[in-house]
Amino acid sequence: MNINGTPWRTIWLEADNRTVGIIDQTKLPHHFEIVRLVTADDAALAIRDMLVRGAPLIGAAAAWGVFLGLLADSSDAALEAVCAKLIQARPTAVNLRWAVERMKTVLAPLPSQERPDAARSEAAAICEEDVRVNEAIGEHGLRLIEEQYRQKGRPINVLTHCNAGWLATVDWGTALAPIFKAQQAGIPLHVWVDETRPRNQGAHLTAWELAAAGIDHHLIADNSGGHLMRQGQVDLCIVGTDRTTASGDVCNKIGTYLKALAAADNGVPFYVALPASTIDWTLDDGMAIPIEERAEEEVLFVAGLAEDGSVQRVRIAPEQTRAANPAFDVTPARLVTGLITECGICKASKKGLLGLFP
């Protein structure tokens, strides 16, 4: 996507062919900074500390992490160790495991001296595929927005949660891809952006993406969605997912479930956009998905731009207050109107998913 007229992706191989560039998402929206990953440890830390985040991008970063690890040591033992380390960086998004296992399947049978070059090609292929797949999700999701526009003949209001835009992928995004496509198609639309406490990915990242693209949007407190739905001010919800079970349960950023409940109560269509790499075919029940527990500081403090232009972190609760910080929740398939994938839109059910991915 473009930033001030220049096309960017979220991750790339640098010209030296030995380091990987990323946009440091912990610095957005106030600063745009590039970080260079040199080792597999750098990649694992970038995933753990959320310099890169979003399920598809975590997978791409892990693939490049395997490549960086093999540049240093391409033995069998090193391949095993680097894959194990990267898979542990974050527990919920299944794309991480998917990408690392794909790398391992390609690399393990090769003689060790051939592995670094093969790893470079495979990581690049994962990134190129991610871009194509997300653009296809955008095309399929566009049909839903077009349909709403045909029926209503006025700007379409879409509510989204967290950031499932291009920053969460290599490019295009999942939930925001249909929105970018709708803008290109000239459909008037407006986006309600959940701020997404505790880390505020909506306020920091989704709002930044939409502002950069010139798409009309309002930031809303996480508690506002239900009220807006009752008032008829939301035509469609589209969110992303970090792991979708074979039966269509969806695990996404904490707070997604509450939006799905409100949407069901108000007859608002609730769609989830995902690439096939986010489907965990080994699980049927979403409650079996491991939910990441993050540091309580993320809840107890907020960061923002102070009037003097510096970014500051302030405590919002008493010193003695402890916080709990589950990072994801599970929305059962029965609350999901449909899944938007690169192969089309299906019901959130085993039958629906198998129809698209036999």
**193 near ligand MRU, judged by CB under 6 A:** no
Q: Which of 42, 171, 235, 242 is catalytic?
A: 242
Q: Which of residues 54-113 bind ligand MRU (CB under 6 A)?
A: 54-56, 93
CB-based contacts of 68-71 (< 8 A; 24+ apart in sequence): 68/19, 68/20, 68/37, 68/38, 68/39, 68/40, 68/42, 68/43, 69/39, 69/40, 70/107, 70/115, 70/116, 70/119, 71/18, 71/116
CA atoms within 13 A on the CB side of 252: 31
Radius of gyration of the chain (CA): 20
Q: Active site includes 242?
A: yes
- The residue whose two tokens read 């194990």 is 84
**248 near ligand MRU, judged by CB under 6 A:** no
Stretch that binds ligand MRU, among 97-105, 162-170, 209-217, 350-358 (CB under 6 A): 162-170
Selected binder of ligand MRU within 126, 327, 339, 340 (CB under 6 A): 327
> At CA 60, angle to CA 55 and CA 62, rounded to 5?
95
Stretch that binds ligand MRU, among 3-11, 236-244, 312-320, 329-337 (CB under 6 A): 236-244
| Least Cβ distance, residue 114 to ligand MRU (angstroms) | 33
**How many residues line the site for ligand MRU (CB under 6 A)?**
18
Task: Kindly state the DSSP code that residue 284 receives in the 8-state scheme.
Answer: S
Nearest to 57 by CA among 95, 16, 8: 95
**259 near ligand MRU, judged by CB under 6 A:** no
Selected binder of ligand MRU within 136, 162, 289, 330 (CB under 6 A): 162
Q: For ligand MRU, which is the closer residue by CB, 40 or 176?
A: 176
**160 near ligand MRU, judged by CB under 6 A:** no
Span between the terminal Cα atoms of the chain, in Å: 32
Instruction: Name the 3-class secondary structure at 345.
Output: strand
Cβ neighbours for 45, distance < 8 A, ≥ 6 positions apart: 51, 89
Q: For ligand MRU, which is the closer residue by CB, 146 or 298?
A: 298
Q: For ligand MRU, which is the closer residue by CB, 69 or 173?
A: 173
Q: Which of the residues are catalytic?
A: 242
Positions at the binding site? 53-55, 90, 201, 252-253
Positions at the binding site for substrate? 53-55, 90, 201, 252-253
What residues line the site for ligand MRU (CB under 6 A)?
53-56, 93, 162, 164, 168-169, 173-174, 201, 240-242, 252-253, 327
